[in-house]
Chains A and B, each alone.
Chain A
């Protein structure tokens, strides 16, 4: 194993994060704060509590997931897309590193950034609502698994994308709708039965539900199912990326 190579890729990617710390942190923090002002205070005060939890508090896990998913994908996809775009990827391809080492470096860094962001968002949220976390270890488990799974997903998008538009299109057209329709800001039980069934096909539902359970012990689906689904998603991403590496997909001619 070329641990040094994993180390320098990780360090390089994290350096990008620290150098642009303000942008990296400011936008998720500001948007979270806005959500709290609008939904938590202004509108939320008119909404009755869900499962005994005030609306402002109820949306904390969903809101965190929204930022986590978009940021994981954005960071990881850009991290691999940019060297492909400039051509500097030649160096990684000609170095004595395996694809899995490259993957660990890039995805590890993207997941770390998302994790840090997730913590910052929860910290921001604690200024607006009185945060309680019933199962902190489960909360961390869901947080970490989500960061890894979606950074991996972002990496795949970065490999797949051949231009900047494609890089934006999946997060905009797929992820944002899935997050909004996945029970991030409401309980699925509030929907008519037909839409409840439809929602069951939305993978984000399982993420948010499990994550929310670790805070309040309320969930739309069972925690075990949430955990299984996130692992299935992680596995599917791993299989996809292995296939891409094996065929040299869009990296090697």
Chain B
């Protein structure tokens, strides 16, 4: 596994997952020997298709699912044997809208705070509700809230005890654009205050825009964890788009040994190359093109997005 950037590397991991396996009673193996270190202050995005094991991984870390084997330490404490010390550090926002029905917003966040053994702090909780635009709903019963509001209440509950590590299991599923933006602002603020954030998402743009590192899970296996930039560099492909002056029907035979595609109804040639290889072959290609009697109008370069990388990884 590649090293995280310098600022993270000098610290010990705040969450350390060691060969975690989980086989459900049904016999389904949801996690297959997952090992992962998470560093203080980073934002880690976990990507993976439905049923990949993201929720199972988070649940096993937080103590909701008992792992079949393997171990997890949080802040240096074993999450089972020293569960008090370990769990105090964690806030969890579950994927499902699992809330009670009849208690009020205010009571439920006070309940959460107390459950984690923290002294009452009206000022902090009021501010929290204001930050999440829930303050005017504080006396409403949970069952009367909309889905997006419930999602925010779950976030408020997770933050009510001032955790150092926050797990967000698909926080933006079913959330409107406005709220999604607010949520990412909040994540940025939390991160500034030193909170480590682990989130799962299906929106790859999200991971792309806010995460420091990205992990990809499929079929219970962690396929890779990497710095977002190096992931894009290493696995990303670049495409050189060569616009021609006149359209052609087929690629001239002299260009056959280049991996070229004819795109845009014969107006452009697309040349895909690996950014890592020493020789991209661009110079030779351009010479060969002019030798073939084609003249160029324009050139531009396209880089593959995280989404392309993800699709490639999960498919293979």
Contacts and interface: CB of A to CB of B under 8 A. Distances in A.
Interface string A90-125: 111111111000000000000000000000000000
A15 B111 CA distance: 12
B9 interface: no
Contacts of A15: 103, 107
Contacts of B99: 86, 88
Given A5-B115, A9-B115, A94 B100 contact: no
A216 interface: no
Interface in A1-35: 2, 4-5, 7-9, 12, 15-16, 19
Interface in A179-194: none
B139 to A, nearest CB: 13
A253 B25 contact: yes
Interface residues of A, number: 27
A182 B99 CA distance: 41
Given A4-B117, A87-B94, A94 B63 contact: yes
B11 interface: no
Contacts, number: 75
Contact of A253 (B24, B100, B102, B110): B24
Contacts of B181: none
Contacts of B115: 4-5, 8-9, 91-92, 95, 97
Contacts of A9: 115
Contact of B114 (A8, A87, A98): A8
A252 B94 contact: no
Interface of B: 24-25, 62-66, 83-88, 90, 92, 94, 96, 98-103, 107, 110-112, 114-119, 157
12 contacts: A2-B84, A4-B114, A5-B117, A9-B115, A12-B103, A15-B107, A86-B100, A86-B101, A91-B92, A91-B115, A96-B84, A96-B116
